[in-house]
Amino acid sequence: MNRITLDQALQANGETDTVEFKQGFNVAAIGECLELVKDIVAIANSGGGWILVGLLDNGFPVGIKASTNSADPAVLADKVYGYTGIHLKGLKVAACIKQEKQVVAIEIPSAEYPIIFIKVGNYTTEDKRTKSAFSQGTVYFRHSAKSEPGTADDLRHFVDAKLETTRKFWMDGIAQVVHAPTDSLVAVLPSEVRLSNAPDAAAVSITPELAAKMLQAPMVDHTHPYRQKEVIEAFNKRVKGKVQINSHHLLCVRRAHQIHRDIKYCYNMNWSSPRYSPAFVDWLMEQYNADKKFFDKAKRKADKLRREKKSNSE
């Protein structure tokens, strides 16, 4: 379902599956609050939309009977959470004007997955009758101008819409790769990085070190080809029997010299053991040639660090 803009919602002359009109509301009045929560959830489940306060059912503006303070988005979000257990992110409130009358617009985002009521929404009317806005375990959708319990078709349409959004996202990404110039490189950037053509956007220079961090996954077989066993074999082969190190020696060196934090020497795999670069073997040789007691000193330092860590945790 396509979201409509605020201007389109204000121009509507009747309620729809994405637009609800209310003359006024008071979040302190339990009945009005529950009916508002029901409409918010139903619209969110139906793809998002607007609740405009200060309008008759035909869209004629009568002006808001409540200030925007009573429509605080944080308060509304808390009310939704209280009956659904879901934090509805993106709920916004804005004051606007229609035909010289003040109107409050509540923008409702699309739900990530169907929102279900986890508590009963009962209240007492002015004539002392008990009315239920919604029941526990129900999921509401918009059916034209009404917020009603969902059907199998509603759930099917919800899933289809999410799948279509995901498909479009994937296809857009594939299209960018397909149409990229020959010899282009695909880089995985941190989530906080945003590409922009804005003149005031900050320029970023990707240094070789940063590029290595971002591109190491597909290149790790070349940049860090050794596992622990292969590092030991490579070192022992180069010293030609003068000294033989084992996995414990390597563990002590890692801890004493923080090797696991240096991408030049060590690449930490998410689901596997660390990988090491040829530069790490060269570094081990340099340290050993400069000090034949290098590995003994590394063991003593690692033991000391382990004792200090244990002491601090007690």
Domain boundaries, the chain: 6-153, 208-306
In order of 52, 101, 209, the CA distances from 28 in angstroms are 18, 24, 57
Query: Which residue from 69, 42, 40, 41 is spatially nearest to 52, judged by alpha carbons?
Result: 40
Q: Which of 15-24, 146-155, 181-190, 250-259 shows the lowest per-residue confidence on average (mean pLDDT)? A: 181-190
Q: DSSP label at 20?
A: E
- Report which DSSP code applies to 226: B
Average pLDDT over residues 279-285: 94
Confidence of residue 283 (pLDDT cuts 50, 70, 90): very high
Per-residue model confidence as pLDDT tens digits over 94-139: 889 999 899 999 999 999 999 999 999 999 988 889 999 999 999 9
Q: Give the single-character DSSP code of 61.
A: B
- pLDDT at position 298: 94
- CATH classification code of 6-153: 3.30.950.30
pLDDT band at 52 (very low <50, low <70, confident <90, very high): very high
Predicted pLDDT at 210:
47
Q: Highest mean pLDDT: which of 48-57, 171-180, 239-248?
A: 48-57
180-212 residue pLDDT tens:
777 666 666 666 566 665 655 666 555 555 444
DSSP E strands in 55-200: the ranges are 92-98, 101-108, 121-124, 130-134, 140-143, 146-149
Task: Quote the pLDDT of residue 199.
Answer: 59
Residues 6+ apart with CB under 8 A from 193: 204
C-alpha pair distances (Å), 77 with each of 66, 120, 152: 18, 17, 27
Helices of type H across the chain: 6-11, 30-45, 73-84, 152-178, 208-223, 228-239, 247-257, 278-290, 294-313
pLDDT score, position 216: 43
What is the phi-psi region of residue 258: left when phi exceeds 0, alpha when psi lies from -120 to 50, beta otherwise?
Answer: left
Whole-number pLDDT of residue 108: 94
Mean pLDDT of the chain: 85
Give the model's confidence band at 253: pLDDT under 50 very low, under 70 low, under 90 confident, else very high.
very high
Report H helices in 179-207. none
Highest-confidence segment of 32-41, 73-82, 161-170, 200-209: 32-41
Helix (H) or strand (E) holding 53: strand 49-53
Residue among 121, 29, 36 nearest 76 (CA): 36
The whole-number pLDDT of residue 63 equals: 84
State the residue for tokens 């279509």: 164
DSSP 126: T
Predicted TM-score (pTM) above 0.85: no
DSSP H stretches of helix in 179-277: 208-223, 228-239, 247-257
The residue-averaged pLDDT of 75-87 equals 92
Distance CA 220, CA 187 (A): 14
Q: Which pair of structure tokens corresponds to residue 137?
A: 């375990």
State the average pLDDT over residues 283-312: 91
